[in-house]
């Protein structure tokens, strides 16, 4: 049982790290001379990398704010889930454990799915002046989808683990 708990903690921490990287790093959409995330757009040049923040002038600013909010919420919920797991491990009786943690992880999973889905469907509308058809989804976007899968699997593991002795 101790090995299972250690594996779940490592899996949960991995999910948190993936969420932090996907939320913070600037590689949701990558082209030859630019890279874009949910916070700013950066143009590549030989001497410097000028970055501009995404402002309310953008037509899809509300969608970008939704993506930002749900990714931050997913990261916070994942951190709260780990804290909840540790507290429930020592405080609750057998059979009552980890239900709250599973629910928190499922909410985190839902937030990541919402953010990544919105970005998938609307990424061309966010920065129309860049010619985004020439780019590809970056590793932060891919990490967001991997974090979605990890948080979903983690929530299922918590539900299964609540029955074990």
Is the pLDDT at 133 greater than 80, yes or no? Answer: no
26: confidence class by pLDDT, cuts 50, 70, 90: confident
Residue percentage of the chain with pLDDT more than 90: 38
pTM comes to 0.85
The secondary element (H helix, E strand) that includes residue 53 is strand 51-53
Per-residue pLDDT for 25 more than 90? no
- DSSP string spanning 10-37? HHHHHHHHHHHHHHHSS-SEE-SSEEE-
The architecture (CATH level 2) of 2-161 comes to: Up-down Bundle (1.20)
Q: Look at 152 and 53; give whichever has higher pLDDT.
A: 152
| pLDDT(72) > 90 | yes
Instruction: Report the alpha-carbon distance of residue 163 to residue 165 in Å, rounded.
Output: 7
What does the domain layout of the chain look like in residue ranges?
A: 2-161
Closest CA to 123 of 153, 144, 101: 144
- Most confidently modeled range among 32-41, 42-51, 60-69: 60-69
Q: Are 35 and 138 in contact (CB under 8 A)?
A: yes
pLDDT at site 108: 95
pLDDT at residue 47, rounded to an integer: 64
- Tally of helices (H runs) and strands (E runs) in the chain: 4, 5
Max mean pLDDT among 94-103, 115-124, 140-149 falls in 140-149
In the 8-state DSSP scheme, what is residue 138?
A: -
Is residue 73's pLDDT more than 70? yes
């Amino acid at each position: 049982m101790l090995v299972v708990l250690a594996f779940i903690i490592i899996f949960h921490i991995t999910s948190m790290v993936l969420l932090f990287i996907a939320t913070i790093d600037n590689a949701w959409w990558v082209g030859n001379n630019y890279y874009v995330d949910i916070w700013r757009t950066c143009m590549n040049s030989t001497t410097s990398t000028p970055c501009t923040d995404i402002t309310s002038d953008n037509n899809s600013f509300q969608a970008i704010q939704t993506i930002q909010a749900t990714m931050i919420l997913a990261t916070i919920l994942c951190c709260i889930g780990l804290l909840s797991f540790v507290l429930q491990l020592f405080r609750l009786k057998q059979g009552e454990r980890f239900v709250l943690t599973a629910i928190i992880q499922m909410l985190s999973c839902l937030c990541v799915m919402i953010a990544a889905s919105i970005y998938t469907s609307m990424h061309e509308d966010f920065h129309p002046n860049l010619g985004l058809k020439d780019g590809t989804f970056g590793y932060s976007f891919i990490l967001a989808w991997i974090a979605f899968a990890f948080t979903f699997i983690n929530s299922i593991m918590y539900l299964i683990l609540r029955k074990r002795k």
